[in-house]
Amino acid sequence: MKFHSEFVPHTSEIQLYVSDLNRSINFYKKIVGFKILTKSNDTVVFTTNGKTPLLTIEQTSTRRAHPSTGLYHFALLVPERKHLANVLRHLLSTGYPLQGAADHSVSEAIYLGDPDGNGIEIYADRPSTQWRWEEDQVVMTTNALNAEDLMKEASSGVFEGLSEHTVLGHVHLQVSNLQEAKYFYQNGLGFQVVSQLGDHAVFASYGGYHHHIGLNTWQSAGALPSKEGSIGLKWFSLVFTSELERSKCVEQLKKFNNVWQKDDDYYTEDPSGNRIRLSLKK
């Protein structure tokens, strides 16, 4: 988890709009394994450790347009392979439909969607010493997950939810123009591009991670953002290690004319309308 610590800027928290709050509460508690931190009439904050917000969902009645930019999936990073095995065993026991599973060489992953179609990846990293780099590009594959081997690590006890050390490992976004998005994340937010799949997808990170951000145009090339308040992404947060580091980023973002302050945080939007909160490590 060294790429999601106080020493490296990283993804930290995400907020989504959903169409049926009670249905989504049931899903995120019983299927995914979150705990409720706070709850109001139209908003619920989820945690894994009982104190740190990780996911917030908010009730909306505005449907998402298709095609549109926005969330492709958010990814929950569990600390060890055995935790991923326990999640897989639990998901199979519930009968909830999975959208896929893969071995990406740097990690092993399971994919599903929430009741509104918001994509979710749950994954475990392999040790970074095992990642293969070709110059400044990390090698990520999409091979079949060896589920039988993974399940050997599962415990036999009752699933008690996600590990308390689960973090928001990365966020994968649908963008309208890949080159515009790539330029913004590199030159506005200071990411390093560590992998690119032709003209359709880019992966970028801080501190040598395999990716904190994914960008693609697979279903969204030329698309417009959905209306404000539509089902899907409201914002996700990037946490910086110091005020100096964040201030430097804010100054870079001012060149794009789309950064503003609210309370203790700054906000920006990428060229495809995906909103990002810039926070400090607490």
Look over the chain and give the mean of its residue pLDDT values, rounded to a whole number.
97
User: Cα Rg for the chain, rounded, in angstroms?
Assistant: 18
Looking at residues 216-227, what average pLDDT do you find? 97
79: preceding bond cis by omega (within 30 degrees): no
pTM of the predicted protein model: 0.97
Q: What secondary structure letter does DSSP report for 98?
A: P
Helices (H), the chain: 21-26, 81-94, 147-151, 178-187, 243-254
Backbone dihedral angles phi then psi of residue 279, each to the nearest 5 degrees = -120, 170
pLDDT at 1: 78
Is 91 a residue whose pLDDT tops 90?
yes
Task: Encode pLDDT of 96-149 as tens digits.
Answer: 999 999 999 999 999 999 999 999 999 999 999 999 999 999 999 999 999 999
Residue 207 CA to its chain's centroid (Å): 17
Asked if residues 5 and 208 have their Cβ atoms less than 8 Å apart, the reply is no
pLDDT for 258: 86
Report domain 2-280's class.
alpha beta
